[in-house]
C-alpha cells in the first residue's frame, strides 16, 4: 500500500513547484483513424505483393525465353555439327570406300556423270560429227580410267575389310565370357580358352608390328616359333623355317624393306605355280 494524495497550497504550506512540468496532450487516435491506417497498410501490402508476383512472372518468362533460345541454338549447333559429320562421312565414303553401298554410290555417280557428259556432247551444235566422236572417245577413256580407279579402291577395301574381319574374329575369341547373375547383371569370366586366344591374338598383332627394335622383333619371333611348334605339321614346319630365316637375316643386319614380300607377282604372267 502506498499513500498518495493531492495537496494544494494554502497558508502555512509551501509546495515546491520547481520540478513541475507542463504537459500538452497528444492527438487522440480514434477508431476511424485506426481503420483508415489499416486500410492503407493493406493496400500497401497488396501493391507490394502484386509487384512481387509480377516481377516473378516476368523473370520466369525471361528465363523461359532464354532457355528456349539456348535450346534452339543448341539444336542448330547440333544440326550443323551433324551435317558437317555427314558431309565428311560422304567425302570419306567416296575417297576411301569400304562397303558395297559405298561402291554402288560411286558407280551411280559415275553413270550420272557419263550420261550428262554424253548429253552435252550430243546437244552441242557448235561441234562437228568428227569432233563429237573424238569427244565421246575421250569420255570413254576417262570413264575407263575412273572404273580402273574404282577397281583399285575395291582391292584396297577388300584387304582392309579382311584385316578388320580377322581382328574382330580374334577379339571375339579373346573376350571374356559373360555370365548372367540372378540380379540381371553380368560377370566377366576368363577361361583357359579365352586366355589362350588372347595370347595368340597378341602374337598375331606383334608379327604385324613394324619399326620396332631388333630385340623385340626377335622375342616375338621366338615366342611365335615355340607356339607353332606345339602343332607338328607341314605348315608349322614351314612357319618355323621362315622364322629362322628372318631371325638369321635380322642378325646379319638386313633391313625390314628387304624382308617384305611383293604381292604384285601374283597377278603377273610369271605366277604359274
The answer to whether position 213 is within a domain reads yes
User: Per DSSP, what are the bridge partners of residue 92?
Assistant: none
- Per-residue confidence band for 70, with pLDDT thresholds at 50, 70 and 90: very high
The pLDDT score that the predictor gives to residue 126 is 80
CB of 97 closer than 8 Å to CB of 109: no
> What residues make up the domain containing 68?
31-96
The answer to whether position 6 is within a domain reads no
Same domain, 80 and 110: no
Same domain, 106 and 84: no
79, 96, 113 — which closes off a domain? 96
Higher pLDDT, 57 or 203: 57
The answer to whether position 233 is within a domain reads yes
> Tens digits of per-residue pLDDT, 82-134?
999 999 988 888 888 888 888 888 889 889 998 998 888 888 878 888 888 88
* 273, pLDDT greater than 50: no
The answer to whether position 117 is within a domain reads yes
The answer to whether position 1 is within a domain reads no
> Tens digits of per-residue pLDDT, 198-246?
888 888 888 888 777 888 888 888 888 888 888 888 888 888 888 888 8
* 37, pLDDT greater than 90: yes
Higher pLDDT, 156 or 43: 43
Give the count of domains, the chain.
Answer: 3
Q: What is the mean pLDDT of residues 246-256?
A: 76
The pLDDT score that the predictor gives to residue 255 is 64
The answer to whether position 270 is within a domain reads no
- Per-residue confidence band for 254, with pLDDT thresholds at 50, 70 and 90: low
* 64, pLDDT greater than 90: yes
The answer to whether position 13 is within a domain reads no
> Tens digits of per-residue pLDDT, 89-103?
888 888 888 888 888
Same domain, 210 and 220: yes
Report CA dihedral (145, 148, 153, 155) to the nearest 10 degrees. Answer: -160
For the CA atoms of the chain, what is the radius of gyration? Answer: 48
The pLDDT score that the predictor gives to residue 175 is 85
Same domain, 103 and 56: no
The answer to whether position 184 is within a domain reads no
Same domain, 116 and 76: no
Same domain, 36 and 70: yes
CB of 93 closer than 8 Å to CB of 105: yes
Same domain, 194 and 245: yes
Amino acid at each position: 500500500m502506498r499513500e498518495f494524495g493531492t495537496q494544494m497550497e494554502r497558508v502555512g504550506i509551501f509546495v515546491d513547484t520547481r520540478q513541475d512540468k507542463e504537459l500538452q496532450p497528444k492527438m487522440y487516435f480514434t477508431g476511424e483513424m485506426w481503420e483508415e491506417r489499416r486500410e492503407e497498410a493493406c493496400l500497401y501490402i497488396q501493391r507490394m505483393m502484386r509487384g512481387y508476383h509480377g516481377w516473378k512472372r516476368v523473370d520466369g518468362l525471361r528465363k523461359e525465353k532464354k532457355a528456349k533460345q539456348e535450346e534452339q541454338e543448341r539444336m542448330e549447333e547440333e544440326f550443323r555439327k551433324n551435317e558437317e559429320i555427314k558431309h565428311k562421312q560422304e567425302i570419306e565414303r567416296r575417297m576411301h570406300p569400304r562397303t558395297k553401298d559405298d561402291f554402288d554410290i560411286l558407280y551411280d555417280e559415275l553413270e550420272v556423270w557419263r550420261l550428262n557428259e554424253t548429253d552435252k556432247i550430243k546437244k552441242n551444235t557448235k561441234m562437228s560429227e568428227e569432233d563429237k566422236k573424238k569427244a565421246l572417245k575421250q569420255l570413254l577413256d576417262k570413264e575407263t580410267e575412273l572404273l580402273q580407279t574404282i577397281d583399285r579402291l575395291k582391292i584396297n577395301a577388300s584387304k582392309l575389310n579382311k584385316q578388320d574381319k580377322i581382328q574382330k574374329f580374334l577379339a571375339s575369341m579373346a573376350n571374356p565370357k559373360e555370365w548372367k547373375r540372378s540380379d540381371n547383371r553380368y560377370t566377366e569370366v576368363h577361361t583357359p580358352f579365352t586366355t589362350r586366344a588372347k595370347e595368340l591374338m597378341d602374337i598375331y598383332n606383334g608379327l604385324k608390328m613394324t619399326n620396332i627394335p631388333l630385340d623385340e622383333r626377335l622375342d616375338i619371333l621366338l615366342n611365335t616359333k615355340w607356339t607353332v611348334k606345339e602343332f607338328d605339321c607341314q605348315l608349322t614346319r614351314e612357319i618355323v623355317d621362315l622364322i629362322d630365316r628372318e631371325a638369321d637375316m635380322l642378325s646379319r643386319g638386313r633391313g625390314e624393306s628387304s624382308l617384305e614380300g611383293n604381292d604384285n607377282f601374283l597377278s603377273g604372267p610369271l605366277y604359274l605355280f
